[in-house]
Amino acid sequence: MLADYAVRVEQSRGRRYPEPQHPYRNDFQRDRDRVIHSRAFRRLEAKTQVFTRRYSDHFRNRLTHTIEVAQVARTIAAQLGLNVDLVEALALVHDVGHPPFGHAGEKALDIAMREHGYFFDHNLHALRIVEDFEMRYAAFRGLNLTFEVREGIIKHSHDYDPEEFPELSEYLLELRPPLEAQLIDVADEIAYSTADLDDGFESRLLTLEQIRNGIPIFEHFYGEVESIYPEAIDKLKFNETVKRMLDRWVGDLIDHAKEQVRRTGVRNLEDVRSCPHRLITLSPPVEQERRVTKEFLHTNLYFSATLNPEKNDAGRVISELFNFWMAKPENLPSSYQEKATQEPLPRIICDYIAGMTDNYIYEQYEKYRGA
């Protein structure tokens, strides 16, 4: 049963290009399936989350992270009476705009673009992918997703200023996104904070002592686990502790969101859109736990000396390839050369690089290095 404030598929604003209804799948289910079958989604398997494959292939990549976000988000959505089909579609598509090499690649691509007066934003790039780059249908370009999914791609994690982005005016920038879209941002934060802690410990870049000393909520649950499983090996105690953290954060998000809805008097989707603040948030004390965990990961994992060479390498490869194609655009694939007659060359090069996997961009680098 959907809550009164949930998005109803039968009230969808529809697709850019009208299509007949499918006999046994609703429109949000079809959007989910279109995302899963897209090339951009498949490429996530070979894009870095935190650890590149050159470091190890045991850790999460951008695709496995996406699947975990979808699992967390679906669970929460069901408890809140939200549209689970829409939530799943948004979770699966939320990272398709990321370039190779994770956040290091995103930063390097943005720096390269800003040298030419532009910028890179993975949400906006994701919209370009689903609107234009995917070529699967004879009747239209892109995936022809519903308005609600396209809106969620843009607005799930960021509020864009209508005056700065007039080209996005159709996406109701002056209004809040539905709760289904708001949920994706927090589910993403919860999923990667616990998952990156796990991968950091598995990689031995984070020690158990470090984590216990640096994250109070982890230490609290670790003490509880030790009293229940005193003979268990450290790794299993670690697993039990992270599971308890995840359960605590997900449970708190569900309870706090319900309380926010009750307190603000939200009754329907229009109330959600007109609310002056987002309603899907953790409670203040648990949000502080998440922030402490995130700061710990930034200090001890994401910016660790061990991972710096990989990040520096990513920045160098992207920067050199970007500059190479700016100087010699005739070396771009013919389809991108054709697009460059219609859009600025830096944007076309950015599109090309952002779509690459970690493996493919290294192939291109080796091909053109010194050319």
Domains of the chain (ranges; CATH) run: 9-308 (1.10.3210.10)
Helix (H, G, I), strand (E, B) or coil at 15: strand
Region of residue 101 (left: phi > 0; alpha: psi -120 to 50; beta: else): left
How distant, in Å, are the alpha carbons of 89, 146, 196 from that of 18? 19, 10, 41
Report the chain's terminal Cα–Cα distance, integer Å: 61
pLDDT digits (tens, 9 = 90+) for 152-209: 999 999 899 999 999 999 999 999 999 999 999 999 999 999 999 999 999 999 999 9
For residues 297-315, one letter each, b for 16 or more C-beta atoms within 10 angstroms of the residue's C-beta and e for the rest, the string is beebbbebeebeebbebbb
pLDDT at 140: 94
Helical segments of 205-357, H only = 208-214, 216-228, 234-264, 269-274, 284-297, 308-327, 334-339, 345-354
Q: How confident is the model at residue 309 (pLDDT cuts 50, 70, 90)?
A: confident
Look at residues 297, 296, 254, 257 and name the one whose alpha carbon lies nearest to residue 277.
Answer: 257
Which uninterrupted H or E stretch holds 190? helix 179-202
pLDDT at 233: 97
Helix (H, G, I), strand (E, B) or coil at 17: coil
CA separation for the pair 144, 146 (Å, rounded): 7
Tell me: pLDDT of 149 over 70.
yes
Tell me: pLDDT of 371 over 90.
no
DSSP code of residue 302: I
CA separation for the pair 232, 238 (Å, rounded): 10
pLDDT digits (tens, 9 = 90+) for 74-113: 999 999 999 999 999 999 999 999 999 988 999 999 999 9
CA separation for the pair 70, 84 (Å, rounded): 10
The stretch 40-68 carries a mean pLDDT of 87
pLDDT at 1: 87
pLDDT at 310: 86
The stretch 340-366 carries a mean pLDDT of 96
Q: Which residue has the higher pLDDT, 238 or 306?
A: 238
Q: Which residue has the higher pLDDT, 203 or 151?
A: 151
- What is the distance, to the nearest Å, from the Cα of residue 69 to the centroid of all Cα atoms in its chain? 8
DSSP code of residue 61: B
Percent of the chain with pLDDT over 90: 92
CA separation for the pair 366, 26 (Å, rounded): 46
Helix (H, G, I), strand (E, B) or coil at 146: strand
pLDDT at 54: 64
Tell me: pLDDT of 287 over 80.
yes
What is the radius of gyration, based on Cα positions, of the chain?
22
Specify the length of the chain in residues. Answer: 371
pLDDT at 240: 98
Find where tokens 């299993």 sit: 236
Q: Contact at 8 Å (CB) between 271 and 265?
A: yes
Tokens of 297: 């990961």
Tokens of 350: 């950015």
CA separation for the pair 129, 284 (Å, rounded): 36
Q: Contact at 8 Å (CB) between 69 and 194?
A: no
Q: How confident is the model at residue 217 (pLDDT cuts 50, 70, 90)?
A: very high
- Residues sharing a CB contact under 8 Å with residue 272, sequence separation 6 or more, in sequence order: 5, 176, 178, 179, 266, 279
Q: Which residue(s) pair with 146 in the sheet?
A: 15
Q: Contact at 8 Å (CB) between 169 and 155?
A: no
Tokens of 92: 């699966």
Q: Give the count of beta carbons closer than 10 Å to the beta carbon of residue 92.
A: 26
Tokens of 305: 């000396």
Q: Which residue(s) pair with 48 in the sheet?
A: 61
pLDDT at 55: 65
pLDDT digits (tens, 9 = 90+) for 105-128: 999 999 999 999 999 999 999 999
Tokens of 163: 């005056």
- The count of C-alpha atoms lying within 13 angstroms of the C-alpha of 15, restricted to the half-sphere facing its C-beta, is 19
Q: How confident is the model at residue 53 (pLDDT cuts 50, 70, 90)?
A: low
pLDDT at 51: 82
Q: How confident is the model at residue 308 (pLDDT cuts 50, 70, 90)?
A: confident
Helix (H, G, I), strand (E, B) or coil at 357: coil
How distant, in Å, are the alpha carbons of 157, 278, 371 from that of 245? 23, 23, 51
Tell me: pLDDT of 62 over 90.
yes
